[in-house]
């Protein structure tokens, strides 16, 4: 429907979710139904510079070479991401950014045409970080109570591993773990 305002595009993370993000000592961000980053802590941004309020995970992964470089097998990860996106939005695909992405990324268009649907759940993610090297982190996705369509995404290493040491090194470089405030 032309001219329709999509309310999920204007909302940010709630105050309590943003406060929680700020207090957690792990990379954490809040993501909306359309994979918009609504709030992120400084460690999440240190892990991936595109994890900032106002960014869109789909757009960054499919159109951002710097984001793709962080993920050693980004095309394989993209398959699950598109299937999760389809599960998240269902038939509500009127967002103009979705249409732009369909036109700008042949890979996204091909994956979207497959009609795969898969819930975005916990998974192991491999990140090739430019400062600390390869990281193997668990990604957990937790629903935010009282905020339909919002998910708290947390990355954590196995305790006592090189990955835990590397994440601690990255955290030590982050002086302020305050969240990046959501844009209105």
Greatest C-alpha distance within the chain: 54
Nearest residue to 111 (alpha-carbon basis) of 87, 75, 70, 57: 75
Domains parsed from the chain with CATH numbers: 11-172 (3.30.450.180)
What is the predicted pLDDT for the residue at 141?
Answer: 92
User: Tokens representing 75?
Assistant: 């095309």
Taking only the tens place, the pLDDT of each residue in 138-147 is 999 998 888 8
What is the predicted pLDDT for the residue at 76?
Answer: 85
Rounded to whole angstroms, the Cα distance separating 125 from 131 reads: 17
Q: What angle do CA 80, 107, 53 make, to 5 degrees?
A: 65
Rounded to whole angstroms, the Cα distance separating 12 from 120 reads: 20
pTM: 0.84
pLDDT at position 19 over 70: yes
pLDDT at position 5 over 70: no
3-state secondary structure of 118: coil
Taking only the tens place, the pLDDT of each residue in 168-184 is 999 998 864 444 444 44
pLDDT at position 51 over 80: yes
Rounded to whole angstroms, the Cα distance separating 55 from 49 reads: 10
H or E element, residue 40: strand 37-40
Rounded to whole angstroms, the Cα distance separating 171 from 25 reads: 8
Q: How many residues in the chain?
A: 184
pLDDT at position 117 over 90: no
């Amino acid at each position: 429907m032309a001219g329709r305002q999509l309310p999920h595009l204007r909302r940010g993370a709630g105050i309590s979710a943003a406060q929680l993000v700020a207090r957690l000592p792990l990379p954490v961000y809040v993501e909306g139904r359309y994979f918009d980053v609504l709030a992120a802590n400084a460690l999440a941004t240190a892990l991936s510079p595109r994890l900032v309020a106002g960014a869109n995970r789909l757009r960054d992964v499919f159109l951002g070479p710097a984001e793709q470089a962080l993920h050693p097998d980004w095309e394989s990860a993209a398959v699950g991401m598109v299937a999760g996106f389809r599960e998240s939005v269902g038939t509500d695909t009127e967002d103009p950014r979705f249409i732009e992405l369909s036109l700008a990324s042949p890979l996204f268009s091909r994956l979207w045409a497959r009609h795969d649907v898969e819930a975005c759940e916990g998974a192991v993610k491999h990140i090739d970080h430019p400062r600390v090297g390869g990281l193997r982190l668990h990604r957990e996705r937790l629903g935010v109570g009282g905020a339909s369509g919002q998910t708290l995404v947390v990355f954590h290493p196995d305790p006592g591993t090189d990955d835990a040491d590397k994440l601690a090194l990255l955290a030590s470089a982050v002086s302020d773990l305050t969240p990046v405030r959501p844009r209105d």
